[in-house]
Amino acid sequence: MFFSDDGKSVAIQMKHTKMLSKAKCDALSYAIENAVGQFEFDQSHVVGRALGQRVYVEMMIRELIFFISLSLLLTLLFLYIAFRSGWGMIIPALIVLLSLLWTLGFMRMIGKDIDLMLTVLPTIIFVVGVSDSVHVLSKYLGELRAGTPRREAVFKAFKSIRLAMFLTSLTTAIGFLTLIFSKIQPISDFGLYTSVGIMMAFGLTYAVLPAILMLAAPRRLDAYARSEDFWGKYLHSFFRLLLRRRRIVLAGGGLLFGISLAGISMSDVDNKMLEDLLDSHFLKQEFFYFEEHFSGCRPCELGIVLPGESGPMDPSVIRQLDILNTYLEDTYGVGSILSLPVIVRSLNMAANAGQRAFYALPADSADLHHMKRALKRKEIRDIYALTWDERTRTVRFAGKVGDYGRHHYEMRNTALDQFIRAACPDLSHFHVTGTAHLIDLNNKYLVDNMVKDLLLSILVIGLSMGIVYKSRRMIPLTILPNVLPILMIAGFMGFTGIALKVSTSIIFNIAYGIAVDATIHFLARVRSLMKDVYTKTYAVKSAYLSPGK
């Protein structure tokens, strides 16, 4: 358990108090580093929760600052390309920054701290907040191009898209709000606070943007509005191309749908312990060291409830436990095992002058009974207690395995069940457990939950559009254009072997919640023009050139 195969490394394994706070974990990890630093070892390697939590939280803070800065930079760049004006950059950026500050302030007021999931919150608020501002500014510039005075242009811009803006914000918020049904608190919090931030972005867009346009009187923006519309020429050409090739477009969509389904059929749900870190990251390197030189870092535990009045040292039971121990070592791949058979083997070898040939269960019943008495000695009793709980009548096996992923150990656990039922019938009431196994189960539950949340989000958003516009036809028109891209992402993941896990499955909820906004703006414009007795072709063309832009 404590020596590497090449005999050049020794391991110290420690158990610390459960549920240590962040501050205490930091203090412990720094104390270990300082203690190791007092000696002149050739190398030292550390893994464990205390260090891992410290590294992840520090990385989370750095990435939060990085993503906010990057989002702001890319947003400003896009806005300059779109509006060629300082005000065209400042107005949306100001609104999204206010939205972010209000959201973080709201979280602080109710005592909620930022966790790993919430580090993507700023990026999402940037996307949604900028989207609202761009729609308003685009409509405002369109009115100015039509010769409408500034005050009236502001009024018309907000009036014409107020319902669409509210619906896009509401449906995006609903998409994230469905995550609150998750029983995993960080996922639930992520859904709640993201939806709050989205609605704050909508409120600030409606409250602050018209005030800025009226009070600041952005002349450069107005001048750009009256210049040639850069987008119109290209969108006209592309719209005519789509009309001429609409059957090819539909056939292409159907082909993509079929290819995506084929890719989805190849998808797998899997996860490893540190797979989200780059291989070059020092924590991953530490992990690799223990994988290579010791039995691994993934804990593997097995609990077996003994039937009836039988005890762990009954001859038939201990021999079945020994058979199971051998299977775990030779077939399952467990190393550094702490178990009752290992203790009894070691006692037997010690009683026979340390000869390796006696590292086995005693063949004689009298010798086995002698071992049973030895387990009650003071120096053995504490170790024995780690392998047998008399109150719950549970025998415990604890060891380490390589980090080969959930799918690998699902197959191993199925084979283990078959082996125990065939070779160890008295041990059939067993439970595979341990931190890594619980993480696997948690990830599987989360992925299943994400799929249900996505379906719920699609249903609720579709029904909301049907109710608001009083038309059943709006439901499939809202859903279909936004489901295809999600299927394409899932298909791509299947073809490229990217497994479904928490960090990848949540992409679908985010993508659908944001993508549906464009569809709502487009459909709202089409319905508005058709109510004014315009033809369907004209309405679609106008929507393509205005909110489509």
Contact (CB, 8 A) for 428 and 420: yes
Query: 159 Cβ partners below 8 Å, 6+ apart?
Result: none
Whole-prediction pTM: 0.69
- Give the CA count within 13 Å in the CB-facing half-sphere of 531: 7
pLDDT for the residue 447: 74
Share of the chain above pLDDT 70, in %: 96
Cα distances (Å, whole numbers) of residue 8 to 195, 293, 466: 54, 9, 70
The full length of the chain comes to: 549
Tens-digit pLDDT profile for residues 258-316: 999 999 888 877 777 777 788 888 888 888 888 888 887 888 899 999 988 888 998 89
Q: Give the residue-averaged pLDDT of 341-349.
A: 92
Cα angle, residue 426 at apex, residues 422 and 432 outer, rounded to 5°: 80
Alpha helices in 84-228 (DSSP H): 86-109, 121-145, 150-177, 185-215, 219-225
How far from 145 is each of 11, 133, 287, 307, CA to CA, in Å?
74, 18, 62, 84
Q: What is the DSSP letter of 18?
A: T
Number of H helices, E strands in the chain: 19, 5
- Provide the pLDDT confidence category of residue 161 given band limits of 50, 70 and 90: confident
Among residues 297, 272, 300, which one has the least CA distance to residue 413? 300
Please name the residue that has the structure tokens 């919430």: 118
The number of C-alpha atoms within 13 Å of 106 and in the hemisphere containing its C-beta is 16
- Decide if 88 contacts 106 (C-beta within 8 A): no
> Distance between CA atoms of 348 and 317, rounded to whole angstroms?
17
pLDDT for the residue numbered 217: 66
pLDDT digits (tens, 9 = 90+) for 453-493: 778 878 887 887 788 777 888 888 888 888 888 899 989 99
Q: How confident is the model at residue 218 (pLDDT cuts 50, 70, 90)?
A: low
- Kindly state the DSSP code that residue 305 receives in the 8-state scheme: E
Beta-carbon contacts of 41 under 8 Å, excluding residues fewer than 6 positions away, are none
Q: 176: closest CA among 189, 163, 162?
A: 189
Provide the pLDDT confidence category of residue 221 given band limits of 50, 70 and 90: low
Alpha carbon separation from 378 to 318, 373, 374, 384 (Å, rounded): 21, 11, 9, 10
Cβ–Cβ < 8 Å for 274, 403:
yes
Rounded to 10 deg, the angle between the 150-177 and 121-145 helix axes is 150
Task: State whether residue 38 is helix, strand or coil.
Answer: coil
DSSP 419-458: HHHHH-GGG-SEEEESHHHHHHHHHHHHHHHHHHHHHHHH
Mean pLDDT, the chain, integer: 84
Residue 466 CB contacts under 8 Å (≥ 6 apart), including other chains: 472, 474, 475, 478
Helix (H, G, I), strand (E, B) or coil at 27: helix
306 vs 113, higher pLDDT = 306
Range name among 3-17, 48-62, 120-134, 242-256 with the lowest pLDDT average: 120-134
Would you place residue 227 in the very low, low, confident or very high pLDDT band (cuts 50, 70, 90)?
A: low
Q: Is the pLDDT of residue 495 over 90?
A: yes
Identify the residue with better confidence: 475 or 118: 475
> Distance between CA 367 and CA 348 in Å, rounded?
8
CA 56, chain centre distance (Å): 14
pLDDT at 237 over 70: yes
pLDDT on residue 117: 67
* pLDDT confidence of residue 463: 84
pLDDT, average across residues 426-452: 81
Instruction: Answer whether 461's CB lies under 8 Å from 516's CB.
Output: yes
Which DSSP symbol is given to 227?
S
Report d(CA 243, CA 536) in Å as an integer.
13
Q: How confident is the model at residue 138 (pLDDT cuts 50, 70, 90)?
A: confident
Q: Please tell me which of 55-64, 413-422, 457-466 the model is most confident about, judged by mean pLDDT.
A: 413-422
Q: What is the pLDDT of residue 156?
A: 86
The mean-pLDDT minimum among 71-75, 116-120, 508-512, 526-530 falls in 116-120
- Per-residue confidence band for 330, with pLDDT thresholds at 50, 70 and 90: very high
Q: What is the pLDDT of residues 254-273, one digit of tens each?
A: 999 999 999 988 887 777 77
Assess whether pLDDT exceeds 90 at residue 320: yes
Tell me what percent of the chain is helix, strand and coil, each rounded to the nearest 5.
70, 5, 25
Alpha-carbon distance of 400 to 4, in angstroms, equals: 13
Query: What is the secondary structure of 127-150 as a DSSP string?
Result: HHHHHHHHHHHHHHHHHHHTT--H
Cα(420)–Cα(428) distance, integer angstroms: 6
